[in-house]
Structure 1
Amino acid sequence: MCRIYGTFNVRSEEAELRRVSDLMHHGGPDAQSFAHRADWALGNNRLSIMDPEGGAQPYRLGRVTVVFNGEIYNHQELRERLTGLGFHFDDHCDGSILPALYTTYGERFPEHLDGMYSVAVMDLRSVPRMVLATDDAGMKPLYYHWEGNAGRLHFASELPALLGFAGVPAEEDETGLDAYLTSKTPFGDRTMFRGVRVLPPAATVVVDHRDGLRIKHRPMAHEQGLRPAAGRTLEESGTQLRDLLSREVSRLLVADAPVAAVTSGGLDSSLVTALAAQAFRASEGAGSLHTFNVAYTGTWPSDERAYAAEVARSVGARHHQVEIDPATFPDLMTDVVRHLGQPNADPITLSTFSLFRAVRDAGFKVALTGDAADELFGGYSRMTQAVAAAHGEDWAGAYLDHLAAVPRALRESLYTDEYAASVRTAEPAVPADVPQTLRLDLGTRLRRITAVEQRYRLPAYHLRRVDHLSMASSVEVRLPFCQPSVTRFAATLSDSHKLVPGQGVKRALYRAAEGLVPRSVLERPKQPFTLPITAMLVPGQRLWTLAQDALDPATLRADGRIRPERVAALFAEQAARPDDTVALALWSLMSHQLWRQEFFGAAGARLPLTAAAPVLQEAA
């Protein structure tokens, strides 16, 4: 696991590369290196997980140079295949096979990878070209700035690092606020910075001097024409899914560093925990699995610590209970905003950041989680409501409003006339493909919704958050539910094996968990794993004071996009009658203002992105 960065058709000085590297030092503290020539550069910060003594980057084979972030789970199989073709490898690190794989298959090399990754290749064998690739789920993001007229490319694994390049301006996309409030973080390839984009999942990019930058989209699992298996019973689906997940969890436990599991107390993480504990027991000398759960000091709604502890006891794991004091939230908000690089309206960000910091403090560099199961197997209430909606109802519009940080009607009441006018003429807040996918009669409602969840919401809103906030503490998160075999299997399930209104959600997954997960977890109502902000965002709490300071009327008036009197009305309403919708609206607006302060300063000026540089070793 690493952080990568680089340039094409750009002259990069060593000092600049060191600055960019330093801004991601937390994601790769074990080694830093780069390769650069007159008009290109590739850099890497390494978090050593596989073969710590080998795997030094950049990798080279002749005139091909590669840097890599992630894990390749089928690297041994690929190494054997490539050895048979005459290639030789000096170590057993997973990324070491990439130059030979690229030399053999060219830009189609990602089709042979099973894992989570972002890869950058500099190919100087004939016409110089750079090739970038992201994994099929979007687990390892890559941000870039492309100057089409000049043919210049900068890229990095994190936004603050990308902005550390002198050629990448830090300018706010002012209509990004609307995109953020519409979907809790920008969807598609959009970011909150003007001219800065993020590669979508399953993308291969080729850049050269002749044709510029071209993005090729590889088909994701739900786009491969897979159809429900005929005649398969729910019981059979559950059994097959359990066996599949058991194999994948066992594969993802292989590491040359300590591995733990995150256990929220819900179905998804509990099943991953149970399967991981089972694999630990089967592995001689592996010891006990360690599990981690996060909760908050005091008594708050939706506390899941008892369920998580019960799961850990039932599988014989050594359990770690992490507690966050709400009094520390203001300081945490600053750290979270900086590491994310742009606002994410889910309050779980504070929990996620604190949890992985505790995981690393306990000595673990790898953690398995249950993320992405809801998107694959139909676990959200918004999905059930859309499927259950009567014919003729605007179920698609209602579904999209469920994705919002602030519902449409409330958003429109918050905007000033000037900002509302600019939003109407700007790039759509939600990519045009999203409503088209939902409304075109291509498959069932649930299959259309699942397609949107997997291509847009999961990578933008969920996976980037997990990646940035875990790597902030030098922890690699592995996600069994994002494995290609699992996403393909989910695409072969019938709707009735996912959700049936009135009968349940994630039905095949519940069947898979029977006998492995305690009945108390299987029979409890589903609840989101998040911060209870409705209870915390009230007068007398630290969050209330922080929100009022961030959303000061003078600040909003100077910004000119949000009506101060409407925000004051939200504060009054929340103080009198705490409400989920109002609390999330205030939280989202506060998070946006804190992001602006972090990256642009109180007056909107760019903040210096500098820090003490680590010692870097230039690759020979």
Structure 2
Amino acid sequence: MCGIAGIYHPGTPKPVDRARVLAMADAQAHRGPDGAGVWTASGVGLSHRRLAIIDVAGSPQPMHDGDLTVTYNGEIYNFAEVRAELQAMGAKFVTNGDTEVLLHGWRQWGPAMLDRLNGMFAFALHDAGRQCLFLARDRLGVKPLHYVELSDGSVAFASELKGLLVHPLLRRAPDLAAIEDFMGLGYVPDDACVVAGVKKLPAAHYLMLERGRPVPMPRRWWDLDFTNRASGSLKDLEAELVDRMRAAVKLRMVSDVPLGAFLSGGVDSSAVVALMAELSKGAVKTCTIGFQEAGHDERAYADAIAQRYHTDHRERVVAADDFALLDRLTSAFDEPFADASALATFRVCELAREQVTVALSGDGADEAFAGYRRYKFQAAEERVRSLLPREMSANVFGTLGRLYPKADWAPRPLRAKTTLLALAEDGATAYARSVGVTTPGLRDKLFTAEAWRQLGGHRAENRYIATMRDAPAREALDRAQYADIQHYLTGDILTKVDRTSMAVSLEAREPLLDYKLMEFAATLPSSMRLRRGQGKWLMKKAMERYLPDDILYRPKMGFVTPISAWFRGALANEAADLSRSPRLLQWFDGPAIERIAAEHKAGRAEHGRTLWQLVTLDRSLARLFG
């Protein structure tokens, strides 16, 4: 894995400062501690930081072939297959790695080469003959790429935002719309950036910058389609699923450096480890972290899988007060990021890096196979909505929801107010609210009237609603999964794994996000994804020969961090201090922040996640804007 950066002048080919381009890469040195490279020519400069994984001794970057030069972050898992195809067409290779495939692939196929690549990647390829710079990002957005148009007419790009921040022409100003997005979702989505003017190349898109032409909009080169349905018996589909999962794991086990896996004891990571063990000649290296609180600790389940497959297993206990890591995470993420499981993810990456350079994870199965609990609730709500005409359900459930008391403290079955209000809305609007963190109502109170005026009607949930309504899908479940893959997967899950793993120079690979596996999963009938409230139904059934029932069918736990308790204890004063932060008071109402901090501390309301958002936002703003 690597970090890339560069500058390109689409207009007049002005000279590019070599030291500046190298400084942009060096700001991301954690992404590539094994080497650095820089190349400049008329109107263009590319730089690279390398974490050597394949062809360790060779494949330096930026890499050249005649009039082509590339800087690349990622792994092309099927590079040997593509390489053989190119060699059959006459291409002559001088290295043994995957980078050179991009150069010969571009010469042979141009942008269409992307269709042949199975991997995680973000790269910039300069073609002197065509006078263009081609930027591309992988299908699911595993690897990041930021870019910005600057006042001198150039376009600068970098893997991480910090690579752009060292450029002296980048004007640092906060984007209020991105802050609203963050407060609504808990992360800054891929179609936004907290630094005004900076953009993220969307997943499955490319950007062609051509000399003498204005900067165009990115173009989509792949999409996940939920409109088709697989045919075949249950037995056949189950067998095909296992075959595709096995193939995806096998592709990601190619490495010239030590390789292992994260093992949480949940279904997804356990499935990956089971298939790795089946494919491996030696013991798979696995690692897990545990928590001091028994209710959050899954080590016993991870140990059971480690023993079953005789892995070389290590574990470490993380203290509940690990919030001291917050400053390091603020630096790693650049933008505010409020998924508190990043603390645990960082620690397991740190543990893995002690012995391996590459680790396979189980990320992606929840989105691909409908594993989140919210899908079950959404399905139940859709059944109820279908019983009444739309206008009648809005009136009936809206009235009941407004009358029903709010009870955050009560057991889930008694918290009917949220459900009733959701039933009063259409499915897309209700689902968009369900994936959020701070509710629209609470955000109405937190933001000042002037901030809302500046936002001009912008709402974090709007992108989810639009995506669900326009999704290539048949059913409500399809639409919810598609929207999660477009927004939550890239903006939260993959951002979390990329930044925490790269912070310790570890390459994380996600076999369950193999695009061929994802395309197959999208064709499964909804009943094979979600059946009788059981998410990932077919995947779990397929894994019964590999995993015991107490792994497959116990309630999902995941990485849990006790942030609510922190704000009633060790972080209570920090929560109260937020109401006086000059950074937050630009847009937020101080008394409103003070009120929710006091309500939370006293136990009158549950505002732990919102307070965590405000803490991470405040620290990110301090780092970015002073």
TM-score of the two chains, using structure 1 as the length reference: 0.90
* CA displacement at 1:459 relative to structure 2: 0.9
Q: Which sections of structure 2, spanning at least 5 residues, go unmatched?
A: 391-422
**Alignment correspondent of 1:486:** 517
* CA displacement at 1:291 relative to structure 2: 1.1
**Alignment correspondent of 2:408:** none
Match of 1:202 among 186, 201, 204: 204
Amino acid at match of 2:290: A
* CA displacement at 1:219 relative to structure 2: 4.9
Whole-Å separation in 2 of the counterparts to 1:17 and 1:232: 56
Whole-Å separation in 2 of the counterparts to 1:15 and 1:60: 20
Amino acid at match of 1:176: A
* CA displacement at 1:371 relative to structure 2: 0.4
Secondary structure in 1 aligned to 2:379? helix
Whole-Å separation in 2 of the counterparts to 1:28 and 1:492: 38
**Alignment correspondent of 2:286:** 291
**Alignment correspondent of 2:41:** 37
Asked if 2 retains the 8 angstrom alpha-carbon contact of 1:6 and 1:154, the reply is yes
Match of 2:580 among 554, 557, 566: 554
Whole-Å separation in 2 of the counterparts to 1:151 and 1:105: 29
Say if 2:90 is the partner of 1:98.
Answer: no
Secondary structure in 2 aligned to 1:175? helix
> What is the aligned residue count?
581
Asked if 2 retains the 8 angstrom alpha-carbon contact of 1:182 and 1:407, the reply is yes
Say if 2:134 is the partner of 1:131.
Answer: yes
Asked if 1 retains the 8 angstrom alpha-carbon contact of 2:188 and 2:335, the reply is no
**Alignment correspondent of 2:344:** 351
Secondary structure in 2 aligned to 1:307? helix
Secondary structure in 1 aligned to 2:286? strand
Whole-Å separation in 2 of the counterparts to 1:69 and 1:475: 13
Asked if 2 retains the 8 angstrom alpha-carbon contact of 1:556 and 1:562, the reply is no
* CA displacement at 1:87 relative to structure 2: 1.4
**Alignment correspondent of 1:179:** 181
Asked if 1 retains the 8 angstrom alpha-carbon contact of 2:201 and 2:218, the reply is no
Distance 1:86 1:439, change over 3 A: closer
CA offsets per residue over residues 13-56 of structure 1, 9 Å max, x none? 23212321221111000010011123111111110000101111
Amino acid at match of 2:527: S
Match of 1:162 among 154, 161, 164: 164
Asked if 2 retains the 8 angstrom alpha-carbon contact of 1:259 and 1:365, the reply is yes
CA offsets per residue over residues 52-100 of structure 1, 9 Å max, x none? 0111111111111111110001111111111122211122111121111
Amino acid at match of 1:574: H
**Alignment correspondent of 2:250:** 250
Whole-Å separation in 1 of the counterparts to 2:32 and 2:173: 27
Supply the RMSD in Å over aligned alpha carbons. Answer: 2.0
Distance 1:304 1:430, change over 3 A: same
Amino acid at match of 2:455: V
Secondary structure in 2 aligned to 1:212? coil
Q: Which 10-residue stretch deviates more, 131-140 or 410-419?
A: 410-419
* CA displacement at 1:522 relative to structure 2: 1.4
* CA displacement at 1:222 relative to structure 2: 2.0
Secondary structure in 1 aligned to 2:176? coil
What is the correspondence of 1:10-21 to structure 2 with a 5 Å cutoff?
11-21=15-25
CA offsets per residue over residues 468-522 of structure 1, 9 Å max, x none? 110111100100111111111111101000013x441110111121021222111
CA offsets per residue over residues 354-393 of structure 1, 9 Å max, x none? 2212211x22100000001111111112222222212243
**Alignment correspondent of 2:316:** 322
Amino acid at match of 1:134: R
Amino acid at match of 2:445: S
Asked if 2 retains the 8 angstrom alpha-carbon contact of 1:289 and 1:318, the reply is yes
Secondary structure in 1 aligned to 2:99? helix
Percent identity for Structure 1 against Structure 2 = 29
Say if 2:75 is the partner of 1:71.
Answer: yes
Secondary structure in 2 aligned to 1:32? strand
Say if 2:508 is the partner of 1:477.
Answer: yes
Asked if 2 retains the 8 angstrom alpha-carbon contact of 1:300 and 1:535, the reply is no
What is the correspondence of 1:390-405 to structure 2 with a 5 Å cutoff?
390-391=384-385, 392=390, 393=423, 394=425, 395-405=427-437
* CA displacement at 1:239 relative to structure 2: 2.6
**Alignment correspondent of 2:31:** 27
**Alignment correspondent of 1:594:** 619
Amino acid at match of 1:301: G
Whole-Å separation in 1 of the counterparts to 2:155 and 2:461: 26
* CA displacement at 1:412 relative to structure 2: 1.1
Secondary structure in 1 aligned to 2:588? coil
**Alignment correspondent of 2:229:** 228
Asked if 1 retains the 8 angstrom alpha-carbon contact of 2:583 and 2:618, the reply is no
Whole-Å separation in 2 of the counterparts to 1:124 and 1:242: 45
Amino acid at match of 1:205: L
* CA displacement at 1:558 relative to structure 2: 6.8
Whole-Å separation in 1 of the counterparts to 2:279 and 2:303: 19
Distance 1:166 1:340, change over 3 A: same
Amino acid at match of 2:349: F
**Alignment correspondent of 1:385:** 377
Say if 2:327 is the partner of 1:334.
Answer: yes
Asked if 1 retains the 8 angstrom alpha-carbon contact of 2:68 and 2:103, the reply is yes
Distance 1:312 1:535, change over 3 A: farther
**Alignment correspondent of 1:577:** 603
What is the correspondence of 1:597-616 to structure 2 with a 5 Å cutoff?
597-601=622-626
Distance 1:527 1:325, change over 3 A: closer
Distance 1:450 1:16, change over 3 A: same
Whole-Å separation in 2 of the counterparts to 1:230 and 1:279: 29
* CA displacement at 1:208 relative to structure 2: 1.4
Whole-Å separation in 2 of the counterparts to 1:24 and 1:262: 24
* CA displacement at 1:439 relative to structure 2: 3.6
Whole-Å separation in 1 of the counterparts to 2:19 and 2:152: 23
Whole-Å separation in 2 of the counterparts to 1:131 and 1:315: 44
**Alignment correspondent of 1:304:** 298
Whole-Å separation in 2 of the counterparts to 1:50 and 1:440: 40
**Alignment correspondent of 1:617:** none
Asked if 2 retains the 8 angstrom alpha-carbon contact of 1:378 and 1:498, the reply is yes
Whole-Å separation in 2 of the counterparts to 1:529 and 1:301: 11
Match of 2:492 among 443, 446, 461: 461
Amino acid at match of 2:29: H
Distance 1:279 1:557, change over 3 A: closer
Amino acid at match of 1:544: A
Q: Which 10-residue stretch deviates more, 314-323 or 62-71?
A: 314-323
Secondary structure in 1 aligned to 2:460? coil
Match of 2:572 among 527, 531, 544: 544
Q: Which sections of structure 1, spanning at least 5 residues, go unmatched?
A: 602-620
Secondary structure in 2 aligned to 1:213? coil
Whole-Å separation in 2 of the counterparts to 1:269 and 1:546: 36
**Alignment correspondent of 2:148:** 145
Match of 2:60 among 56, 59, 63: 56
* CA displacement at 1:350 relative to structure 2: 1.2
* CA displacement at 1:300 relative to structure 2: 5.3
Distance 1:464 1:520, change over 3 A: same
Asked if 2 retains the 8 angstrom alpha-carbon contact of 1:204 and 1:215, the reply is no
Q: Which 10-residue stretch deviates more, 249-258 or 310-319?
A: 310-319
Asked if 1 retains the 8 angstrom alpha-carbon contact of 2:320 and 2:562, the reply is no
Whole-Å separation in 2 of the counterparts to 1:544 and 1:245: 45
Asked if 2 retains the 8 angstrom alpha-carbon contact of 1:314 and 1:518, the reply is no
* CA displacement at 1:404 relative to structure 2: 1.4
